[in-house]
Each structure stands twice: as C-alpha cells, then as structure tokens.
Amino acid sequence: MSFLRFIIAIFFLVSIFGVSNAHYKLSPTFYDCTCPNVINIVRDVMEQIQRRDVRAGAKIIRLHFHDCFVNVCEFHYLKNGCDGSILLDNATGIVSEKAANPNVGAGGFDIVDEIKTALENECPGVVSCADILALASEIGVVLAGGPSWQVPLGRRDSLTANRSGANSDIPSPTETLAVMIPQFTRKGMDLTDLVALSGAHTFGRARCRTFNQRLFNFSGSGRPDPTIDPNYLKTLQRLCPQGGNGGTFANLDKSTPDEFDNYYFTNLKNHQGLLQTDQELFSTSGSSTIAIVTNYANNQHKFFDDFVCSMIKLGNISPLTGTNGEIRKDCKRIN
C-alpha cells in the first residue's frame, strides 16, 4: 500500500469511528477521581423523589431507553445512541426529540434536572446528562425491589437531537413482534434483550390512548383484541371507555404495579398484558419469545440476571466518549 493510500485509509476509518473515541471505554470507575460521590448523590435525589412520586424509576428508565434507542446509521457512521439527546429542548439548530411521537407525554425530565443540579453543586461540569439517565435507571430499579448492577460510565452529551430518528427507531406501543424484532436487531440486540427489556413494564403506567385501540376496534375488526383476557378486557373498557379521556393512566403491571418483579411475565401468560407490544411477546404464534416469557414467569432470578445484562448492553449503544460532545451544565440545552 502506498503512503497516500495509507493516509486515505486512516482518514476513512477516523471519519467512521471518530479518533477521539478510539481509546475510551465506559467504566463503573470513571468518576472515582473527578466526582467520587456521584452514585450517592444520584441515589439521595432519587430516594427523595421516589417518596413523592412512585413512578420516578419507571419514568427515568423510559427516558434512558428512548435516548439510547435513537441510533441511525448514515454513511456507515452510527449517530446518536446514549447521548442525552432526548433531554434537549428546541433551540436554534435543534429540533427536540421531546415532541417525537414516542416521547409525547413522557415524564421524568424534571427528575433529571434535580439530579443535575445536585451534581453541579458537588462537582460542576463533570457528570454528563447521559450518565445521569443510566445511573438513575439502575437506582430506580433497585428502589422498586429490582436487581442492582455496576453501571458503566463515561458517556458525554450530544450537541444536537434527532427527532426523525426518535420517530422511526423507538417502538410504538402498537407494534407487532415482526416489526419490533428488526428494531432491536439493528441495535445489536437479540430476542432475549427484547423480552428482558420489555420487563421494565413491571412498573409504571401507560395512558389509555397507548392501548385503547385494543379494546373496541382492534386492527379495524370492530372487535377487541382476541388475545386479551375477557375479565381484564372489561376492567380496561371501564377505565378507558370509547370517547373517554385518552390521558387516563393504567398500571402496566396489574398485579404489582409499583414493584420491580417478574409478575409482568405472569400477566402475559394470563393474557393480561396492557400494551400490544407486551402481549405480542407471548401471543405471537410460533415465536421464540414465548419460551423466554415462560422462563421469566417461572424464574425471577433468571429475569433479573438477563435484565441486568440487557441494560448494560442498551447503555453501550453508540455513546459519545473522549472529546466528542460535551458535558452539559443544563441537560435541557447545550453549553
């Protein structure tokens, strides 16, 4: 290879992967010297908020998932991912992801702001908003009785947002399994990741408008979704009547709505999944996800173990590291 071709090849690789990311990996010890109390600070704020808002953990983990899942490949370069882009407001040159269809009505932005303020008071300009989402998600799960894990850290914050990517990449609550599977595989996630991460719906709420198409006129049939248990269907129809308030909340897990456990999967086996995307995991004939759901319903430890692995995998989708991006002082806007 000639010297000129060598230089061109190096330039090409840098343009794809970014030289500043080449020697940086996420690590649970990333802030040990620069902000050693980061975990305690985030936990203290989350505990305070959890006492007044039982949905805090569910809100944050949704934001983290929606942040990481916006991951568009352009000219062989992976854009976005776990970069805090979901937190940005509209501004010059920024079209906020908050107004993307999957994010309309999402909560938790105020929680992030509270955590960021506490961290800026202790170690200003050090902890990224993207890392706040990852850390607060783990803490929210633990506070609800779920598993703990060491969160890899070192993400940096984006300088832009990607609303079109949010609209196309994040699964809607009315997707079929056939649509969801490639949405996950394009991110390097497999069926186990899909089912395990869906298990985050073991706590939290969803609005009637995200599932009422199942209750009366499923897929234009004029009838309810046949995969819904009849008694559960009646309960949901009373809560979300035709022409009613689409903003009314329902529990994602009818059994233990505020606890992180495996009852979500038991509900799916009983045809009592709230969202279409939930019930599809068990009711899609011939799908390999059925065995995974059954395993998790019978073995909470297995669910917890796989959930932890999938959360770490999720948090590693195209993070900005090194000198890419920035550490925002305010998660809502670039510096």
- Report which of 276, 311, 269 is spatially closest to residue 293, judged by C-alpha positions: 269
The reply to whether 131 sits in an annotated binding site is: no
Which of these is catalytic: 23, 64, 66, 301? 66
Spatial distance between the Cα atoms of 169 and 163, rounded to a whole number of angstroms: 10
The reply to whether 27 sits in an annotated binding site is: no
The reply to whether 202 sits in an annotated binding site is: yes
Residues in the chain: 335
The reply to whether 174 sits in an annotated binding site is: no
The reply to whether 171 sits in an annotated binding site is: yes
The reply to whether 70 sits in an annotated binding site is: yes
Beta bridge pairs of residue 38: none
In angstroms, the Cα distances linking 89 to 63, 103, 162, 262, 334 are 14, 13, 12, 35, 9
Helices (H), 144-228: 163-169, 177-185, 191-198
Cβ 228 vs Cβ 236: under 8 Å:
yes
In angstroms, the Cα distances linking 23 to 17, 26, 143 are 11, 10, 34
Spatial distance between the Cα atoms of 69 and 183, rounded to a whole number of angstroms: 9
The reply to whether 85 sits in an annotated binding site is: yes
301 catalytic residue (yes or no): no
Q: Up-side HSE of residue 120: CA atoms within 13 Å toward CB? A: 14
The reply to whether 271 sits in an annotated binding site is: no
Q: Which amino acids are annotated as binding site for substrate, given as ranges?
A: 171
Q: Which amino acids are annotated as binding site for heme b, given as ranges?
A: 201
Active site amino acids: 66
Q: Which amino acids are annotated as binding site for Ca(2+), given as ranges?
A: 67, 70, 81, 83, 85, 97, 202, 253, 256, 261
